[in-house]
A and B are shown apart, each in its own frame.
Chain A
Amino acid sequence: MPNDHDQIVPSRRQFMECVGWIGTGMLWTVSAGVPATVGLIGSAAAETTQADFTFLQMSDSHIGFKAGPYQDVPGTLTAAVDKAKALPRRPALMLHTGDISHFSKPEQFDTADKINATLGLEIYHVPGEHDMLDPGKKLYLSRYGKNAKGDGWYSFDAHGVHFIGLSNVTHMGPDGQWRLGADQVAWLTGDLRGVRDSTPIIVFAHIPLWTVYAKWGWGTGDAATITPLFRRFGSVTFLNGHIHQIVQKVEGNIACHTARSTAFPQPVAGTAPHPGPIMTIAAGEVGDYLGITTATLHTSDSRLAVTDTSLA
């Protein structure tokens, strides 16, 4: 019986880098946790072939928020969707990494859904904590969780990739860190059991699945219980939102990436008294701080190239 782990993982590990185009048009590579600029946006575009699989990540739309320079959050979401429509390659699907709404109101979900639907893509959601503020946390699950388990976790397969949507917004430990919970970890353990080592894995969840900054609750306290489950796989990528800025990290065989918000930016960890929206940006420059992420799976080596595009 062939052993995928022995035959494939070593050769793929060398490709374990997370590549992104930041809003400035620079290509970054993050290797062993150290980011480095390697070229301009055009050089990355040349790597894409027709066989590759592209998908879109949208995050933190916060419909219902209105303050300071962020007076038109539906407008910036619409701008993000228009950017996605103008991509040279039509994405195969969209992942939304949570905080669709700001207050979990039906009309806020309606507004977001109406704008997102114009993409004409299959959209896969995971909840943000702002999507589960209603008593009983039922509204999100009734709208987006029909095929989900527990508080909104599920998996699906598309284009040879095993996608896993996790929910880490309903429980916070006394240490101020969010939690996946034992039920979800048990489900994930079983879910991965039937997945081959050579299958690319993409995990998406709202809160970062590593600790970006504990003081602000920017982390998942029990994420360490799931990372060993992914060690046997050749390609593992965690895509998250919540912190409204791009942070990338490679830990072992796992590439981690957080996305920008389509609504408002938040400060770099520890650079402000609190994690609230940056209120000092001129209204005309808001687009520089907002954006979308596209990702291309290179079918030749299962590498995932992650691209962030600003709304400016």
Chain B
Amino acid sequence: MLRALLTAAVLLAAPLAQAAGTTVAINDYTFTPGTVTVHPGDMVTWNNQDSTPHTATSLDGASFDSAAIVPGGKWSFTFKTPGTYKYHCAIHPDMQGEVDVQ
């Protein structure tokens, strides 16, 4: 019985893990789009297409920090809590973006 419940729980959880994905391209020292709007549980992926490493680092210093994403590299984060998350590149602070979770 316990095993069956666990299996059911895994099956129920699976669709959540595959929640809608949004991609932010990093190119020419710019996050594109600069602002993305997602729902709680959605995953945002940053795709570095530039020639230099960049990061996606929340300005609140706590919510998320990709560390360096090398050129050709990607980094994903799942936003669980509604809110407005402003972020920048911690190497090039003039690169700024926003994730709105609602």
Interface residues of A (CB under 8 A from B): 65-68, 102-104, 129-130, 133, 135, 172, 174, 176-177, 215-217, 273-277
Contact = CB atoms under 8 A, between A and B. Distances in A.
B67 A274 contact: no
A68 B53 CA distance: 16
A311 B52 CA distance: 23
A176 B90 CA distance: 8
Interface string B76-102: 000000000000101111110000000
Nearest to B70: A103
Given A174-B61, A273-B29, A275-B29, A217 B93 contact: yes
- Main SS of chain B's interface residues? loop
Interface of B: 28-30, 50-53, 59, 61, 67-68, 70, 88, 90-95
A130 B92 CA distance: 11
A274 B61 CA distance: 23
Given A135-B67, A174-B61, A102 B94 contact: no
B31 to A, nearest CB: 12
A174 B59 contact: yes
B53 A215 contact: no
Considering the complex of A and B, which 8 residue pairs feature the smallest CB-CB distances, nearest first? A176-B93, A274-B29, A133-B68, A67-B51, A217-B93, A276-B29, A103-B70, A215-B94
Given A103-B68, A275-B94, 17 more contacts: A65-B52, A66-B51, A103-B70, A129-B91, A130-B91, A133-B53, A133-B67, A133-B70, A172-B93, A217-B94, A273-B29, A274-B30, A274-B92, A274-B94, A275-B92, A276-B28, A276-B52
A246 to B, nearest CB: 21
A274 B59 CA distance: 20
Contacts of B94: 176, 215-217, 274-275
- Main SS of chain A's interface residues? loop
Nearest to B68: A133
Given A174-B59, A276-B29, A102 B52 contact: yes
A174 B50 CA distance: 24
11 contacts: A65-B52, A103-B53, A103-B70, A130-B91, A133-B67, A133-B68, A273-B29, A274-B92, A274-B94, A275-B94, A276-B52
Contacts of B90: 172
B92 A217 contact: yes
Contacts of A65: 51-52
Contacts of A133: 53, 67-68, 70
Contacts of A176: 88, 93-94
Contacts of A135: 67
